[in-house]
Each structure stands twice: as structure tokens, then as C-alpha cells.
Amino acid sequence: MVKLKYGRRKPYLIFNSDCDFFETYGFLCNHIKHKLSFQWEYNANSGAWGNEGRIHFYKTNIGSYVPKPIALSNRLTAGRGVNLIHRLNCNDFIKELVNNYGFAVNPNKPGNAVNRSPQGLIPPANPLAFVPNQYIADYNRGYNM
């Protein structure tokens, strides 16, 4: 069983079931199709609450990210800038992806806490290695959204 609730304050990122979690994981692992980027922003040195884990949803040719997993839909906020249409801020979830689901530092974007350049993250090369057999169909459904 996976963790289903993320965040320290409302609104939380909540998955209704393990199936929902792995559907979302599949969606996020197809980051090129969905034009997503994952990063850890070093905001603590600028007077912000602290460092922030984010997922950015960039403008695509189809534009609206429909369909997308319901847990993400309930937690997305507006993006900033012309090409960024949504973002998800949730440190707990980003840490979970890194610690337990194979997301790793992008070697092309290592980040730097001193000058506050964000550290990029990338999905694992073989994400199915992190998906129990009974959830592969859920993963595939999310991956192919």
C-alpha cells in the first residue's frame, strides 16, 4: 500500500486508492508527451517559507491536459508566465517520487542553492520497476492519457 495523502496544509494532494496513485505516476513518467518538468527550487534563502518541490505543466499543442488524473486536477494552481499553464507545489509528493519511485536529479540541471537556480528532476529510465504487478494497468492508463 502506498501513501495516499501529501502536504502539510490544505489543500492536500489526495489519492483515492493505490490505483489512482499509480495512474498518476504513469502520467508523470510520460513527461515528454505531457510537457512536464519537475524541480526543486531553493527559495528559503529569499525569504520564502522554504524550498519548494514543483511540477510544471507547459502549454502543449492540445492545450488543456484533458484527461489528467483527478488527484492532480484537484491540486493544480495557475502557472506563471506565457507557457506555464499549471503547476503543482507539494514538497512531500516530490520527495516521495525521489525517495521511493526513482525520480533523480537531472544531470543537465543540477541546481545550486547559493544562487537559487532550481534543481531539475527526471523520471526513472525504467519506471515499471517501481510499479507492483497488480497496478501496471493503472500505470499504463495514466502513461497513455
> What's the pLDDT tens digit per position in 42-91?
665 665 566 677 888 888 766 567 788 999 888 888 877 778 888 888 88
Domain assignment present for residue 51? The answer is yes
Q: Which residues contact 7 (CB under 8 A, 6 or more apart)?
A: 13, 90, 92, 93
Domain assignment present for residue 2? The answer is no
Domain assignment present for residue 52? The answer is yes
Burial category of 32 from C-beta neighbours within 10 Å (exposed 0-12, middle 13-18, buried 19 and up): exposed
Domain assignment present for residue 109? The answer is yes
The domain tally of the chain equals: 1
Give me the residue label for grid cell 491540486: 75
Residue of 42, 59, 52, 43 lying closest to 112 (CA atoms):
42
> What is the rounded average pLDDT for all residues in the chain?
84
Which of 119 and 116 is assigned the larger pLDDT?
Answer: 119
Which of 41 and 122 is assigned the larger pLDDT?
Answer: 122
What is residue 27's predicted lDDT score, i.e. its pLDDT? 94
Quote the pTM value: 0.86
Task: Give the residue numbers spanning the domain of 24.
Answer: 17-126+135-143
Domain assignment present for residue 11? The answer is no
- Dihedral over Cα of 105, 35, 131, 71: its sign: positive
Domain assignment present for residue 1? The answer is no
Give me the residue label for grid cell 510499479: 131
Domain assignment present for residue 5? The answer is no
